[in-house]
Amino acid sequence: MGAESPDHLILHCSFARQFWTAIGSTIRDADNVERLWEVTRPHNILEAYCSTYLLLCAWQLWKHRLRLLKPGAL
């Protein structure tokens, strides 16, 4: 298991990798969350909304982790 850093939780853990693949995003271009904005945009997301979309996805991954650690916290 990787260290619980934002990079690991949002980009590198197995759940996050499955999530990004399922929504059609290529995260292999990002080695840390600071480079999240450089990932390949899913074809169904307009460029004008892509940064908001990526931020919401990262937030959902963070909330998923919190639900695993503290059920009922959200």
In this prediction, residues 46-67 reach a mean pLDDT of 91
For tokens 């619980």, what's the residue? 4
Asked if residue 18 is part of any domain, the answer here is: yes
Residue 68, CB half-sphere, CA atoms under 13 Å: how many?
Answer: 8
In this prediction, residues 8-19 reach a mean pLDDT of 89
Whether the CB-CB separation of 28 and 12 falls below 8 Å is answered with no
Both tokens of 59, joined, read 């937030």
Question: What is the domain range of residue 62?
Answer: 6-69
Asked if residue 52 is part of any domain, the answer here is: yes
| pLDDT (0 to 100) of residue 55 | 92
In this prediction, residues 50-54 reach a mean pLDDT of 91
Asked if residue 35 is part of any domain, the answer here is: yes
Alpha-carbon distance 34 to 37, whole Å? Answer: 7
Q: How many domains does one find in the chain?
A: 1
Asked if residue 22 is part of any domain, the answer here is: yes
Asked if residue 1 is part of any domain, the answer here is: no
Q: Which residues pair with 26 in a beta bridge?
A: 40
Is pTM beyond 0.95 here?
Answer: no
What pLDDT, in 10s, does the model give residues 24-47?
887 776 788 888 887 778 888 899
| pLDDT (0 to 100) of residue 53 | 92
Alpha-carbon distance 64 to 49, whole Å? Answer: 23
